[in-house]
Amino acid sequence: MKQVRAFVQSLLGSIRDLTPIIVVITFFQLVILRQPVPDLANILAGVALVTLGLSLFVQGLEMGLFPLGENMAYAFARKGSLTWLLIFAFLLGFGTTIAEPALIAVSAEAAEVAATGGVIGNTEEAKAEYANGLRFTVALSVGFAILIGVIRIIKGWPIHYLIIMGYIGVIIMTEFAPVWIVGIAYDSGGVTTSTITVPLVTALGVGLASSIKGRNPMIDGFGLIAFASLTPMIFVMLYGVITG
């Protein structure tokens, strides 16, 4: 009974979360574009699916992903093995990014741009090779980012020095990178962190910061995602410089 009640509540929450999208789309469709909504029944069914999906996702977060991430953070802290923790951090970043659908889409587009620009041969093979190289580069950079982020939590370094250094890195790379890759590189920072990676990585960071003495979960626990969205920009431009 308690579970049913919790589910109804999260269902209502999801409906509220989705209302703005529905309002925006309806307003523009009917008032600005003055077009009828095509296939209304199908769209309503889709909205129902989205609502149900979001509710299930939120329930699953609290039952599975959050406790698991925190639990692993505590276990690593108790075990006291820094090497294993860092290997885990790197693999988590690398493993979750290499399979990320948004990244696969972006690297395919990047290969398309490179082929049109004459940087690589306009064959399927050359494009696939280029896209895979790019994907690997980004995954490597995210693994590296989570690794650095975990070291930061352990050492208690202030985050902004690292981030500002990253910004300087991005600006310097922008000077040297070929023009056509800059847009893709900047976008790749945002697309790497998927819906499953974010909760897990956040729980890991907060869990680590709470289990290490002298760390504040608010100040030290967050920030892993920030690194993961900054390093791909630098690495993708670097990839552009090397392959171009």
Partner 1 sequence: MTLLTDFLYHFFFSVLATLKDVLPIIGIILGFQFLVIRKSIPNFGRVIMGFVYVILGLALFLQGLEQALFPLGKLMAEQLTNPAFIIPNWVAGEEYVVHWADYFWVYIFAAAIGFSTTIAEPSLLAVAMKASEVSGGTVTLWGLRIAVAIGVAIGIALGTFRIVTGTPLHYYIIAGYIIVVIQTFYAPRSIIPLAYDSGGVTTSTVTVPLVAALGLGLAETVPGRSALLDGFGLIAFASLFPIISVMAYAQIGLVIAKHRGKLSESDD
Question: Interaction with partner 1 in 119-158: which residues (CB under 8 A)?
Answer: none
By CB under 8 A, is residue 43 in contact with partner 1?
Answer: yes
Around Cβ 47, how many Cβ atoms within 10 Å?
15
CB of 58 to partner 1, least distance (A): 7
Q: How far is the CB of 125 from partner 1 (least distance, A)?
A: 21
100 versus 127: smaller Cβ distance to partner 1: 100
User: For residue 124, what are its two tokens?
Assistant: 């399927």
If one counts every other C-beta atom within 10 angstroms of the C-beta of residue 37, the result is 11
Q: Does 216 interact with partner 1 (rule: CB under 8 A)?
A: yes
12 contributes a contact to partner 1 by CB under 8 A: no
Which residues between 171 and 200 bind partner 1 (CB under 8 A)?
Answer: 171, 174, 179-180, 182-184, 186-187, 189-200
How many residues at the interface with partner 1, by CB under 8 A?
106
**65-104 positions binding partner 1, by CB under 8 A:** 65-68, 71-72, 75-76, 79, 81, 84, 88, 91-92, 95-96, 98-102
**How many residues in total does the chain contain?**
244
Tell whether residue 62 is a contact of partner 1 (CB under 8 A).
yes
- 223 binding partner 1? (CB under 8 A): yes
Nearer to partner 1, 68 or 129 (CB): 68
Query: If 0-12 CB within 10 Å is exposed, 13-18 middle and 19+ buried, where does residue 155 land?
Result: exposed
User: Binding partner 1 by CB under 8 A: which of 8, 12, 37, 82?
Assistant: 37
Exposure string over 158-173, b if 16+ CB within 10 A, otherwise e: ebeebeeebeebbeeb
Q: How far is CA 73 from the centre of its chain?
A: 20
CA–CA separation, 211 and 205 (whole Å):
10
* Shortest spacing between CB 176 and partner 1, in angstroms: 12
Pairwise CA distance, residues 127 & 111, whole Å: 5
Return the ∠ at Cα 232 (arms to 138 and 192), rounded to 5°: 70
Taking the complex as a whole, how short is the minimal distance between the CB of residue 202 and partner 1, in angstroms? Answer: 5
Q: How far is the CB of 56 from partner 1 (least distance, A)?
A: 3
Residue 104's contacts (CB-CB under 8 Å, 6 or more residues apart) are 131, 135
